[in-house]
Amino acid sequence: MNTENQTKVEETKVDEWTKEFLISRKNGFTEVTDEEVAKADAFCEGYKMFLDLSKTEREAVEFGIAQAEKVGFVEFEYGKTYQAGEKVYYNNRGKALILAVIGEDGCNDGVRIAAAHVDSPRLDLKPYPLYEANEMVLFKTHYYGGIKKYQWTTIPLAMHGRIVRRDGTYVDIRLGEEPGEPQFCVTDLLPHLGTEQMTKTLAKAIEGENLNVLIGSRPVRAEKGSNLFKLNIMKLIHEKYDIVEEDFISGEIEFVPAFKASDVGFDASMIGGYGHDDRVCAYPAIEAILHCDKPKHTVLTVLADKEEVGSDGNTGMNSAFLRYFIGDLAKMEGLDPHAVMTKSKCLSADVTAAFDPTYASAYEPTNSCYLNNGVGVMKYTGSRGKSGTSDASAEFMAEVRRLLDSKNILWQTGELGKVDGGGGGTVAMYIANLNIDVVDMGVPVISMHSPFEVVAKLDVYMAYRAFKAFFEDQSC
């Protein structure tokens, strides 16, 4: 092209074109009003309470049911006729939950789903966890989900979960959360003796087999007998929970960080806490459906278990429970379940990584999500060339963009770090495999999977607004 002959454009034209044709990126905070920020801060007070109350999938499901019942949700009954506006829930084994509001059009044009998960990385007990060694008593653990093991040493831990005795009766345990209650910890070597350990890589310095939880150090007072330290602790456990050592075999005990969620920063703009992944999407999805009256389409909030270990298992998203539930709703309206699922749409409500300037080299700055820039919409996740992802269609992405923009909801898009930097998946693909339109939408997180993850309050609130808009929208 001969540049000589081109007329030079005026500067004002460049400004105009830039505005019209290019993406302009400002910090999300500058785009919202003080009133909206105040609403976000208020919303997050409820969220912090939820975090402290719901550190395991069972506790989150319990919370979800309790909140839902307060606003009129009742247990789903197959075969019953439901009217528009009726609210039901399906409790799958106390570890996964579906909340549903029947729409004006029922399932005629498919259902609208927000699906989050309520399990988080943690330390589970082994079947035979209890042992004594060198006059100390410990629990052996098997970690759950993707953790950096060194992060789980020398922090206060609390014991949560359920133990079912041989006769089927059970005891729920939650110890180390209330003031005055004992807490627990995984020990680490003192730096003075850490010369050899310090030469190891992060992956090797703390071994999975060494994630043992310290639970006692006094023996039974006796002249003879063996295992007196272990015996003393088991005796105390028996007094408190009426269980014997063998009962651990039928237990689901999780050791989780004992600290509470708190504001982070002088501006209190962020929240630090355990289990943002994925309770930071679960809570907005619960709140969205609790505040959704008479939607056009039937709407569902799904809280799944097992996401952190691949979504398999009957309470995971790879189980048929969602398919069965939608099928039941369809059949009760005389509709074909397959047709209903094909017309359904879903937001896979899971977190994404937020850009961390301290580890900038792990991210591709143009395609990253940032704190305070709103809820993240991810067309795809996965790793090694988009493996393990459903990849939303261009059409559905456009629909979601349109919806969020029409409601003035702050949102952003990005990828999980650099190509070939690693990656990760969500429940999106399991739902997409039912022939449902799915896109990932969630809150960006700093220090994901650590005991103290960080999110921005504004993003949490925008996730709530996004899920609510998706439920209430007539066009989507």
CB of 396 to Mn ion, least distance (A): 21
User: Among 35-43, 54-62, 270-278, 456-464, which window interacts with Mn ion (CB under 5 A)?
Assistant: 270-278
Q: How far is the CB of 424 from Mn ion (least distance, A)?
A: 7
Residues 6+ apart with CB under 8 A from 57: 95, 96, 118, 119, 303, 305, 315
Nearer Cβ to Mn ion, position 381 or 412?
A: 381
**Sign of the C-alpha dihedral, residues 253, 158, 306, 53?**
positive
Q: How far is the CB of 146 from Mn ion (least distance, A)?
A: 7
Residues 331-360 that bind Mn ion (CB under 5 A): 350
Q: Which residue has the tokens 């105040």?
A: 38
Determine the size of the site formed for Mn ion (CB under 5 A). 3
Strand 299-304 relative to strand 96-101: parallel, antiparallel, unpaired? antiparallel
How far apart are CB 371 and Mn ion at their closest, in Å? 17
Measure CA of the first residue to CA of the last residue in the chain; give whole Å.
Answer: 45
Q: Which two tokens stand for residue 376?
A: 């993240």
- Concatenating the DSSP letter of every residue in 205-266 gives HS-GGG-PEEEE------SS-S-HHHHHHHHHHHHHH---GGGGGGEEEEEEE-SPPEEEST
The answer to whether the beta carbons of residues 337 and 434 sit under 8 Å apart is: no
Q: Which of 59, 247, 254, 278 binds Mn ion (CB under 5 A)?
A: 278
Chain position whose Cβ is nearest to Mn ion? 278
Query: Is residue 132 at the binding interface for Mn ion, with CB under 5 A as the rule?
Result: no
Interface map 70-99 toward Mn ion (x if CB under 5 A): ------------------------------
d(CA 236, CA 250): 19
Backbone torsion region of residue 121, taken as left when φ is above 0, otherwise alpha when ψ lies between -120 and 50, otherwise beta = beta
In the complex, the smallest distance separating the C-beta of residue 238 from Mn ion, rounded to whole angstroms, is 36
CB of 41 vs Mn ion, minimal distance in Å: 24
Give the residue with the Cβ less far from Mn ion, 247 or 453.
Answer: 453
Q: Which is nearer to Mn ion, 350 or 356 (CB)?
A: 350
Work out whether 277 is an interface residue with Mn ion (CB under 5 A). Answer: yes
Tokens 């929240």 locate to 271
Rule CB under 5 A: is residue 415 a binding residue for Mn ion?
no
| Least distance in angstroms from the C-beta of 379 to Mn ion | 17
Minimum CB distance to Mn ion smaller for 298 or for 450: 450
Instruction: Report the residue number, 295 or 451, with the smaller CB distance to Mn ion.
Output: 451
CA–centroid distance for 277 within its chain: 3
**Quick one: 57 or 350, whose CB is closer to Mn ion?**
350
Q: What does DSSP say about strands 423-424 and 382-383: parallel, antiparallel, or unpaired? A: antiparallel
Shortest Cβ 308–Mn ion spacing (Å):
5
Residue (350 or 399) nearer to Mn ion, CB = 350
- Residue nearer to Mn ion on the CB measure, 247 or 277: 277
If the CB atoms of residues 247 and 350 are measured against Mn ion, the closer one turns out to be 350
User: Which span sits near Mn ion by CB under 5 A: 94-102, 276-284, 453-461, 468-476?
Assistant: 276-284
The nearest distance, CB 349 to Mn ion, in angstroms, is: 9
* Helical segments of 308-451, H only: 321-332, 337-342, 394-406, 428-432
Helix (H, G, I), strand (E, B) or coil at 420: coil
> Which stretch of DSSP H or E encloses residue 374?
none
Instruction: Decide if 113 contacts 346 (C-beta within 8 A).
Output: yes
CB closer to Mn ion out of 303 and 329 = 303
Interacting residues toward Mn ion by CB under 5 A: 277-278, 350
